[in-house]
């Protein structure tokens, strides 16, 4: 049995007087890749922020890598994880500076940064954009840059909040393949939010459905595939 990387117990999140999240128990295991699905406003993004130690829950406990948040350095904790936001925010500098920002924060030399960044730029097809100002990128380009920005950090856990939502269909399919094998190769624990069942089944092992701040069901995606096959045959 692999160990829990993030474990949530009796957690609630209240924002502006409203209960946004209410999670009695949830665990993300090492090497697992899961999807969060559910309607708009269900709390998927908020749950990700809590899991990424970017948002403090109102009550309850969250255990990261076996320790509670207050028992460890939040900075070190955050540096083991990476997040691709639903709406990527670029800093007002070049694409290159944006992509290598996290590595810079971790104190890597210019050379080391370049060595680490270059392969990802090629893999994500943004090599030609490196000198462009990040704020002038198209939605899809910004999303690629955001994915690169997260992957260059070689995180133990990655959070992807609707990472393909701005990509055109061709790119989306290509990316899905590529990112999928990439995450598997590097056995990065993955949490992804998506509204597309195919993305969830192709990229992750378990789907959690959320509604009104609660996790209402859990499905193993291989079951889905079986159903899918079945319905196609029928």
Ligand X SMILES: Nc1ncnc2c1ncn2[C@@H]1O[C@H](COP(=O)(O)OP(=O)(O)OP(=O)(O)O)[C@@H](O)[C@H]1O
For residue 28, the number of C-alpha atoms closer than 13 Å in the C-beta half-sphere is 29
211 burial via Cβ count (<10 Å: 0-12, 13-18, 19+): middle
- Judged by CB under 6 A, the chain residues 24 through 63 that form the site for ligand X are 40-46
Neighbours of 96 (CB within 10 A): 19
In this structure, is the dihedral angle defined by the CA atoms of residues 196, 33, 179 and 155, taken in order, positive or negative? positive
Q: How far apart are CA 229 and CA 81, in angstroms?
A: 35
Q: Could you tell me the smallest distance in angstroms from the CB atom of residue 101 to other proteins? A: 5
Closest approach, Cβ 202 to other proteins, in A, equals 25
Is the Cβ of residue 44 or residue 113 nearer to ligand X in the bound state?
44
* Smallest gap from residue 103 Cβ to Mg ion (A): 27
Binding region for ligand X (CB under 6 A) out of 13-21, 166-174, 197-205, 218-226: 13-21
Q: Compare residues 16 and 170 and give the one whose CB is closer to ligand X.
A: 16
| Contacting residues toward Mg ion, per CB under 5 A | 45, 86
Rounded Cα gap, residues 187 and 81, in angstroms: 13
Residue 20 interacting partner from other proteins, Mg ion, ligand X, none (CB closer than 5 to 8 Å by kind): ligand X
Least Å distance, CB 82 to other proteins, is 7
Task: Please give the distance of CA 203 from its chain centroid, rounded to a whole number.
Answer: 12
Where does this chain bind other proteins (CB under 8 A)?
Answer: 49, 52, 54, 75, 78-79, 81-83, 85, 87-89, 91-93, 101-102, 105-106, 133, 149, 153
155/221 with CB nearer other proteins: 155
Residues 103-162 that bind ligand X (CB under 6 A): none
Alpha helix ranges (H) inside the chain: 44-51, 74-78, 95-105, 110-123, 139-151, 169-185, 197-203, 221-233
Q: Residue length, the chain?
A: 234
Report the site for ligand X in 68-107 (rule: CB under 6 A).
Answer: 86
Q: What are phi and psi of 3, to 5 degrees?
A: -85, 160
Contact 35, 194 (CB under 8 A): yes
In the list Mg ion, ligand X, other proteins, none, the entry touching 15 (Cβ below 5 to 8 angstroms by class) is ligand X
Of 15 and 227, the one with the shorter C-beta distance to ligand X is 15
Q: Which residues bind ligand X (CB under 6 A)?
A: 15-16, 18, 20, 40-46, 86
């Amino acid at each position: 049995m692999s160990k829990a990387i993030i474990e949530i117990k009796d957690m609630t999140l209240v924002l502006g007087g409203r209960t946004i999240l209410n999670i009695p128990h949830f665990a993300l295991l090492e090497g697992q890749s899961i999807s969060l699905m559910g309607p708009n406003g269900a709390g998927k993004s908020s749950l990700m922020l809590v899991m990424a130690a970017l948002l403090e829950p109102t009550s309850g406990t969250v255990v990261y890598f076996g320790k509670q948040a207050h028992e460890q350095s939040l900075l070190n904790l955050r540096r083991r994880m990476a997040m691709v936001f639903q709406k990527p925010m670029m800093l007002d500098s070049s694409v290159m500076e944006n992509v290598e920002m996290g590595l810079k924060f971790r104190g890597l030399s210019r050379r080391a940064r370049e060595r680490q960044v270059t392969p990802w730029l090629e893999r994500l097809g943004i090599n030609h954009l490196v000198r462009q100002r990040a704020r002038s990128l198209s939605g899809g380009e910004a999303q690629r840059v955001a994915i690169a920005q997260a992957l260059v950090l070689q995180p133990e856990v990655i959070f992807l909040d609707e990472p393909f939502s701005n990509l055109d269909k061709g790119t989306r399919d290509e990316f899905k393949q590529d990112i999928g094998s990439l995450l598997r190769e590097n056995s990065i624990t993955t949490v992804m939010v998506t509204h597309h069942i195919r993305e969830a089944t192709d990229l992750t092992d378990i789907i959690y459905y959320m509604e009104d701040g609660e996790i209402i069901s859990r499905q193993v995606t291989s079951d889905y595939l079986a159903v899918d096959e079945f319905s196609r045959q029928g």
